[in-house]
């Protein structure tokens, strides 16, 4: 069984702009199913497709199953079946032995930057980079699935 344990944080825009970052990866993702307790998402990057099934959250944990699919299949699924979408640039940054994934949202969610860290346990300790802001792990509005239906520009 796949379990994702993840904490989410807003990013301080001023400090983030001054941060030296690696090249980001463009993500386009759409939701085939987007309900309160489960989502099925298709994602494409520059050269790979993925399908992901996520269950409901308990604390900061939830069941997650992600599989690579051919990019062509991902494009067809997005074009033919996605009910809502999100687009973003993701940066992967290693800091103090942990991988942070920072998403700069595009389109109707432009202006929103969220950092995520995956943990082995909910109580795991970690250091935060200086560009980390307020934690939003418990705020469903910052889930990509929510943003696909209720864009940041409408808040």
Catalytic residues: 31
Task: Kindly calculate the radius of gyration of the chain based on its CA atoms and give it in whole angstroms.
Answer: 15
Residues ≥6 apart with Cβ < 8 Å to 13: 113
3-class secondary structure, 119? coil
3-class DSSP state of 1? coil
Q: What are the Cα distances from residue 83, in Å, to 39, 57, 97, 98, 148?
A: 11, 22, 37, 34, 9
């Amino acid at each position: 069984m796949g379990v994702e344990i993840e904490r989410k944080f807003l990013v301080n825009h001023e400090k983030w702009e001054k941060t030296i970052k690696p090249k980001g990866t463009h993500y386009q993702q759409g939701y085939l199913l987007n309900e309160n307790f489960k989502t099925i998402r298709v994602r494409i990057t520059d050269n790979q497709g993925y399908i992901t099934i996520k269950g409901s959250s308990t604390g900061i944990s939830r069941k997650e199953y992600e599989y690579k699919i051919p990019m062509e299949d991902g494009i067809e699924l997005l074009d033919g079946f996605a009910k809502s979408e999100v687009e973003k640039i993701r940066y992967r940054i290693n800091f103090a032995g942990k991988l942070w994934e920072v998403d700069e949202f595009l389109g109707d969610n432009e202006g929103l930057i969220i950092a995520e860290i995956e943990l082995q346990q909910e109580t795991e300790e970690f250091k935060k980079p200086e560009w980390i802001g307020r934690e939003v792990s418990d705020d469903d509005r910052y889930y990509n699935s929510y943003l696909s239906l209720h864009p940041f520009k409408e808040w």
